[in-house]
């Protein structure tokens, strides 16, 4: 696993062709910026977006500590090969492949990247079709894949479902993708909430995604960043509870027991692992904040 230690609570999409958004992004508290060359960019602006992406990456230090991920067009489109060639040369933190349905697409993308001399670029895959969900286990376990990102809008369309406010019709696909990503040790990000005026619905979707095990959520507007960072980051109460769990367990170990009881609840090794993971995430967030 590479770079799994950094926070990915919020992954903000922005069209690479949007100069104002690119400028704004340098001041935003998103953990990752996903510069889009795909669906947010009109066909006549694809070249412009690619050039803007290359220019942005020559100034990458101005975006730090944010992770920079570029979403390419698929290789089956007229722009995919040129996108991957430019991305391979520019060297972002990761490339995001859209609408991945089979391992062969990852191999083909990696072959284009390798032609540029970039053989190690982490690959994130969007799962946003029925076939993608069916093949998500093989996709997640591919050795170059580091992240799985849900494309819930395209997926809903492909499945012909109506997500509703509670997203119940999407839950099987979301859960299956979390399962595959966790089994393979990958990052996994939830899909976007398109209604920018519906903050209540957005926050509820963040909580649902957090409860399901997602690392974070993809976003479309700066106003969504704070809610995602709060929902997917540990709260002050959780941090305090984590310290207490570790302390209680270590004290029990010193007295020769493999179990502790804290506030009437059993504490086992797995809870200590969970507490240490939470504290490591809190440290990673503090580190990012200190570098902002």
For binding to Mg ion (CB under 5 A), which residues are involved? 128, 151, 154
Q: How far is the CB of 18 from ligand LIB3CWND (least distance, A)?
A: 6
The DSSP string of 222-285 is: GGGHHHHHHHHSPPHHHHHHHHHHHHHHHHHHHTT-S-EEETTEEE-HHHHHHHHHHHHHHHHH
Taking CB under 6 A as the criterion, the residue among 40, 68, 139, 184 binding ligand LIB3CWND is: 40
Please identify, using beta-carbon distances, which residue of 13 and 249 lies nearer to ligand LIB3CWND. 13
Reported residue count of the chain is 292
CB of 38 to Mg ion, least distance (A): 7
| Of positions 83, 101, 128, 190, contacts ligand LIB3CWND by CB under 6 A | 128
Of 104-112, 218-226, 259-267, 268-276: span binding ligand LIB3CWND (CB under 6 A): 218-226
- Establish if 163 lies at the interface with ligand LIB3CWND (CB under 6 A): no
* Residue written as token pair 């969900």: 133
Q: Is 93 annotated as a binding residue?
A: no
Which range, of 107-115, 145-153, 230-238, 258-266, touches ligand LIB3CWND by CB under 6 A? 145-153
User: Tokens standing for 76?
Assistant: 């089956």
Nearer to Mg ion, 150 or 248 (CB): 150
Instruction: Give the pair of three-digit tokens for residue 154.
Output: 């395209």
Phi and psi dihedrals of 194, rounded to 5? -75, -25
User: Which 8-state DSSP code applies to residue 1?
Assistant: -
User: Is 100 among the residues that bind ligand LIB3CWND (CB under 6 A)?
Assistant: no
User: How far is 52 from 12, CA to CA, in rounded Å?
Assistant: 17
39, 218 Cβ separation under 8 angstroms? no
What secondary structure letter does DSSP report for 111? H
Annotated binding site for Mg(2+): 128, 154
Annotated binding site for substrate: 71, 128
Binding site for ligand LIB3CWND (CB under 6 A): 12-15, 18, 20-21, 24-25, 36, 39-40, 128, 151-154, 191-192, 220-222
């Amino acid at each position: 696993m590479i770079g799994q230690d950094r926070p990915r609570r919020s992954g903000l999409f922005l069209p690479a062709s949007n100069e104002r958004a690119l400028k704004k992004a340098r001041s935003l508290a998103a953990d990752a910026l996903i510069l889009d060359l795909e669906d947010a960019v009109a066909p006549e602006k694809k070249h412009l977006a690619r050039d803007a992406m290359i220019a942005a990456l020559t100034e990458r230090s101005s975006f730090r500590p944010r992770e920079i991920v570029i979403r390419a067009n698929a290789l089956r489109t007229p722009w995919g090969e040129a996108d991957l060639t430019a991305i391979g040369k520019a060297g972002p933190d990761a490339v995001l492949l859209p609408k991945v349905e089979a391992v062969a697409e990852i191999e083909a993308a990696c072959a284009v990247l390798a032609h540029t001399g970039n053989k190690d670029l982490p690959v994130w895959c969007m799962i946003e079709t029925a076939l993608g969900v069916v093949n998500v286990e093989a996709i997640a376990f591919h050795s170059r894949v580091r992240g799985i990102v849900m494309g819930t809008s395209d997926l809903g369309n492909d499945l012909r479902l109506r997500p509703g406010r509670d997203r119940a019709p999407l839950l099987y696909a979301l859960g299956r993708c979390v399962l595959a990503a966790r089994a393979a040790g990958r990052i996994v990000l939830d899909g976007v909430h398109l209604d920018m005026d519906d903050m209540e619905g957005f926050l509820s979707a963040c909580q649902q995604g957090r409860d399901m095990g997602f690392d974070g959520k993809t976003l479309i507007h700066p106003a969504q960043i704070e809610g995602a960072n709060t929902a997917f980051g540990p709260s002050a109460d959780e941090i305090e509870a984590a310290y207490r769990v570790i302390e209680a367990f270590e004290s029990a170990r010193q007295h020769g027991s493999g179990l502790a009881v804290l506030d009437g609840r059993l504490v086992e090794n797995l809870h200590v692992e969970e507490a240490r993971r939470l504290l490591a995430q809190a440290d990673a967030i503090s580190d990012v904040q200190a570098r902002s």
